[in-house]
A and B are shown apart, each in its own frame.
Chain A
Amino acid sequence: MSGRLIFNLMLLAVAAYFVWAATGYDLQGRRIPIMIGIIVLMLQAWVTFQELLKPVTEPPLLEGAEELPPDEGRRVAVMTAWMVGFFALFTVFGTLIATALFIFLFLVAARALRWWGALGIALGLSAAIWIVFVKALRFELYPGLLFGGTLPAL
């Protein structure tokens, strides 16, 4: 099953979920979600069906994606992992430390700069954020769980 097919099926599942969940609400609350959900289901079913019939030659809409690299899937996974890692850093250590660490680690891993160049940019950006937000605007950045931050109510 190609990634494309899986993605299309996922969209189908999302639409189906909304229709199903909407049946639990009263008339005024469910009419629009059910109506739109069913329309999306029908359209997306047709799109998925077409996808099955003739696997696609249509180019992706990415600007500049004339040639996608062959290891695209891996790259997406790696980038997603980096972002999740950033979120973890952000939650535990707070905005400033997470930003500096993330930029430093990323630039070093991508071999874009030597470690001192990466460190410079990382610290420079963090310092700029600190000056503009904390000092000048008196805006509170997230302190991180380690430094007394709390998780907002879910």
Chain B
Amino acid sequence: MLDPLLVAAGALLQPQNILLIAGGSLMGLIFGLLPGLTSLAAMSILLPFTIGLPPISAMYLFIGIMGSAPFGGAVTSILFNIPGEPTSAASCFDGYPMTRRGEAAKALGLAAAAALFGALFGLVVLIGLIPMVRAIVYAFGPPEFFMLLMFGLATVAIAAPGNTLKGLVTAGLGILLSVIGYDPITGVLRFGFGSANYLWDGINLPAFFVGVFAVGEVIGYYVTGGTIMRAGVKMQGVWRGTIEGFRELFRHVRVTIQGSVVGSIIGILPGVGGTVSNFLSYTLAMQTSKHPETFGKGNPEGLIAAMTATNEDTGALLPTVAFGIPGSAATALLLGALTLHGFNPGPLFITEHMDIVWALILGLLIANVVAITVGLAGANMLAKLTTLDVKFLVPTILAISLLGAYADRENLWDVALAIASGVLAYGLTRFGFPIVTLVIGFVMGRIAERAFSQSLQMELDPLIFFKRPVSLALFAMIVIVFLVPLVRRLMARRRA
């Protein structure tokens, strides 16, 4: 066990690897920052460059990207209300109001500290759960997966900000939009509008995300004008603000741990991933708080909940490392990179290549440290932009975001898709429809339907959901989640 650790640590001291992990972390920060460009895109782009490198070096590069991207994404969420990565969407809700109050440095510091804590927690969970990985993967089949997604949808639908009815409408809309494309159950291209190729894989997630968040927000900037930081507010000092941010983390221990747990667990389940975990953590924090109405107005707990749950990459490493099976798109690429270097990752991966596993763990730690130091410094420089008139931000942010929308698949139509989604999103927000539930419905809709149909295909038995213990337990939790607010209301009425 310890020998491979020494090998990995020793490799870390080689100048080539130091450069790689630093470069990877920097890339992760930048790609995390830019809306539309994800850490996955960065990894895909750098893949060919790694062919000549030894495998451990390639791993350091990739994990550098994966480790620092969450904070990079949070920077734009907090400063501009535009998530740089799908995993940092929930950081907008309370991070952005803090920026408007002039507390950008504090928000950034808090986000960095929360992300680091989440990552560390995730690593501990990762190492601890390795012996149990198979049991977990075997326990979560399609019926359990479906129930878990329903649980997620239920929690979020109930806690949607604003009008719940409209929240459900947009959630349903999101689900309908997610169904567009090739259906792997029936083999039919549904709702293709005559397009046999472009809509085959459905509405492209990064382009849709860029459209809904970045483009929609930019339209809002243009309409309202002014500056991001409220006029008349003084921006707090960088050093003071950052330290205050760090301190704030320790004042909310419960939320911090809660968010880290949610992120780790969701990350382990293949396919669901970070987009869901940060929303889920946020709404869970809101529901369990004594003052849910303060969420969305700059409550640090909201930011903590959102950022600690961005550790799903660590969770996704669990099946990857223990099984040789990818837990997320990024880890799939990691495995692909290993194949490129001549490995064939399988069940014995962890015993035969423990040094690579240690490299991933050490690399994750270092990437987070780089994010906290370099990332924070860069972010605070960017924060100055919030004092500028938005006239300058509109064209630049728009151009960068649409470039991100294009870059994911190098498909021109994705740019048009982003623009159209942006106009839709602006309309939704303008008329009181929450776009958060739209995105959640979109992300979860199709995979939930697929899990549902798969479950029915397995045993040809519609009661399968209630015959398996884990699935039944999850169903019970959903019922409880729906009942609790009702009971609360009833009891409040009785008291009154």
Q: A residues within 8 Å of B by Cβ?
A: 4, 7-8, 11, 14-15, 18, 21-22, 25-26, 28-29, 32-33, 36-37, 39-40, 43-44, 46-47, 56, 58, 60-65, 68-69, 72, 75-76, 78-80, 83-84, 86-87, 90-91, 95, 99, 102-103, 106-107, 110, 112-113, 121, 125, 129, 132-133, 137-142, 149, 151-154
Interface hit among B330-338, B368-376, B419-427, B471-479: B419-427
Query: How far is it, in angstroms, between the C-alpha of A25 and the C-alpha of B431 when the chains are bound?
Result: 33
Q: How distant is A32 from chain B, measured CB to nearest CB, in Å?
A: 5
Query: How far is it, in angstroms, between the C-alpha of A28 and the C-alpha of B426 when the chains are bound?
Result: 34
- Whether A103 touches B396, Cβ cut-off 8 Å, given contacts A8-B431, A153-B197, is yes
- Out of B97, B222, B392, B406, which one reaches A107, CB within 8 Å? B392
Decide: B395 and A103 in contact? CB cutoff 8 A: yes
- Whether A76 touches B219, Cβ cut-off 8 Å, given contacts A58-B432, A63-B96, A64-B100, is yes
Residues of B within 8 A of A65 (CB): 220, 223-224
- Whether A29 touches B186, Cβ cut-off 8 Å, given contacts A63-B97, A95-B406, A153-B197, is yes
Residues of B within 8 A of A79 (CB): 218-219, 222-223, 394
Query: Which residue on chain A has the smallest CB distance to residue B30?
Result: A132
Query: How far is it, in angstroms, between the C-alpha of A154 and the C-alpha of B81 when the chains are bound?
Result: 33
Interface hit among B175-183, B232-240, B310-318: B175-183
Q: How distant is A86 from chain B, measured CB to nearest CB, in Å?
A: 7
Interface hit among B14-22, B123-131, B407-415: B407-415
Residues of A within 8 A of B81 (CB): 63
Decide: B432 and A56 in contact? CB cutoff 8 A: yes
Decide: A140 and B190 in contact? CB cutoff 8 A: no
Decide: A18 and B225 in contact? CB cutoff 8 A: no
Decide: A62 and B430 in contact? CB cutoff 8 A: yes
Encoded as 1 (CB less than 8 Å from any A CB) or 0, chain B from 430 to 467 comes to 11111000000000010001001100000000000000
Decide: B172 and A43 in contact? CB cutoff 8 A: yes
Decide: A33 and B173 in contact? CB cutoff 8 A: no
In this complex, the interface size class of chain B, counting residues with CB under 8 Å from chain A, is 35 or more
Query: Which residue on chain B has the smallest CB distance to residue A112?
Result: B391
B269: CB under 8 A from chain A? no
Query: How far is it, in angstroms, between the C-alpha of A18 and the C-alpha of B445 when the chains are bound?
Result: 14
Decide: B415 and A28 in contact? CB cutoff 8 A: no
Query: How far is it, in angstroms, between the C-alpha of A153 and the C-alpha of B197 when the chains are bound?
Result: 6
B162: CB under 8 A from chain A? yes
Query: How far is it, in angstroms, between the C-alpha of A112 and the C-alpha of B432 when the chains are bound?
Result: 31
Decide: A40 and B169 in contact? CB cutoff 8 A: yes
B350: CB under 8 A from chain A? no
Residues of B within 8 A of A22 (CB): 190-191
Q: How distant is B412 from chain A, measured CB to nearest CB, in Å?
A: 6
- Whether A62 touches B432, Cβ cut-off 8 Å, given contacts A32-B179, A102-B395, is no
Residues of A within 8 A of B162 (CB): 61
Query: How far is it, in angstroms, between the C-alpha of A32 and the C-alpha of B218 when the chains are bound?
Result: 34
Decide: B412 and A142 in contact? CB cutoff 8 A: yes
